[in-house]
Amino acid sequence: MDKLQAITVFVRVVEAGSFSAVALQTNTTQSAVSKQVAALERELGTKLLTRTTRSLALTQEGERYFNRVRRLVAEMDEAEGELRRGEQQLVGWLRIAASVGFGRIKLMPMIQTFLAAHPAVKIDIRLQDSVVDLVEEGIDAAVRIGDMPDSTLIARKVGTSPRHIVAHNRYLSSLPKGLMAPVKPEDLAAHNCVVYTELPMRNNWTFTAGNGALEPEGTTRVIRVAGNLQSNSSEVIRASVLAGMGIGCSPTWLFHEEIASGEVQLLLADWRPPPVSIHLVYPRERRNSAKVKAFAQHVASALADG
């Protein structure tokens, strides 16, 4: 058995979802593809795939193995592409992770233009608000928002995300008698605030005075806010603000259309929360990946253009 060839076939089968698809890709038979995977399983002494007449599924051991070896196959694809073209040819799968809100609103348009520019690339995007283990999950790169803790990952800053205090017209119009929309940070203590828990500040919102504030420009305030809802999901924060449930401290892109239409109001215009950094992070073994480098540059350029 050519072990490297068998590993490549195994990765292709998982990516394609069937033996027959790989047989068509490689101009061979379904039986030959199946035999290569079976030989690899015998060599490893474990079952990698469960097979039925209708579908394939990775076993737990198979998923761990796939997440490791598919990087090897990706590196080979890139190396062969460079040799064939005499330059870095971007080919094969690129697995990207991001938070749900950023991925849906900001990253998807970037992915669309990236794929148009690199038709030989295929992208697997994983969206979730909790931090994923890139090595364990087999992720090539992740977009992360906020300060980066010390890590074994390589982080490249690709942009910043301005934030504002936002509220839906429904919330503002339903305020009880005597309670007004906030005009200074301290006023937030009397309001129901929805809190995003994935950033370190959580309930402690920091503000810097602009040139229109009554305080000297550059003055900072840290305000302890409270409310009846908090979440680690930016999509929950978005939904709760749009439902008129409270005031949020959020990136402007999360409410871009609603702000433009006047449905959501920007509050405390003379006091700004600090922007948060946007990084593309990736495992050290992916630092020489042409696909990761190209994607990082593409995201940085798109964010710089707004």
Take residue 179 and report the two structure tokens written for it: 């309670």
Average pLDDT, the chain: 87
CB 165 within 8 A of CB 158: no
Give the distance from CA 112 to its chain's centroid.
15
Tell which wins on pLDDT, 86 or 162.
162
Tell which wins on pLDDT, 300 or 50.
300
Cβ burial of 253 (10 Å; 0-12, 13-18, 19+) is: middle
Q: If pLDDT is split at 50, 70 and 90, which confidence band does 86 have?
A: very low
SS3 104: helix
* pLDDT tens sequence across 250-288: 998 999 999 999 999 999 989 999 998 999 999 887 877
* pLDDT tens sequence across 177-228: 989 999 999 999 999 999 998 877 789 999 999 888 888 888 999 999 999 9
CB 237 within 8 A of CB 154: no
CA end-to-end distance (rounded Å), the chain: 52
Which residue type occupies 218? G
- Domains of the chain with bracketed CATH: 1-83 (1.10.10.10), 90-160+275-306 (3.40.190.10), 163-274 (3.40.190.290)
* pLDDT tens sequence across 96-147: 999 999 999 999 999 999 999 999 899 999 998 888 888 778 888 999 988 7
SS3 84: helix
Say how far apart CA 40 and CA 108 lie, in whole Å: 37
Q: Mind giving me the DSSP string for 181-250?
A: --SSGGGGGGS-EEEETTSTTTTEEEEEE-TTSSSPTT-EEEEE---SEEES-HHHHHHHHHTT--EEEE
Report pTM.
Answer: 0.70
Helix (H) / strand (E) containing 58? strand 56-58
Q: What does residue 12 show for φ and ψ, rounded to 5 degrees?
A: -65, -40
Q: What is the CA radius of gyration of the chain?
A: 24
Q: If pLDDT is split at 50, 70 and 90, which confidence band does 83 have?
A: low
Q: Is pLDDT of 31 > 90?
A: no
Please tell me the number of Cα atoms within 13 Å of 277 on its side-chain side.
Answer: 12
Asked whether the CA dihedral 275, 300, 109, 22 is positive or negative, the reply is: negative
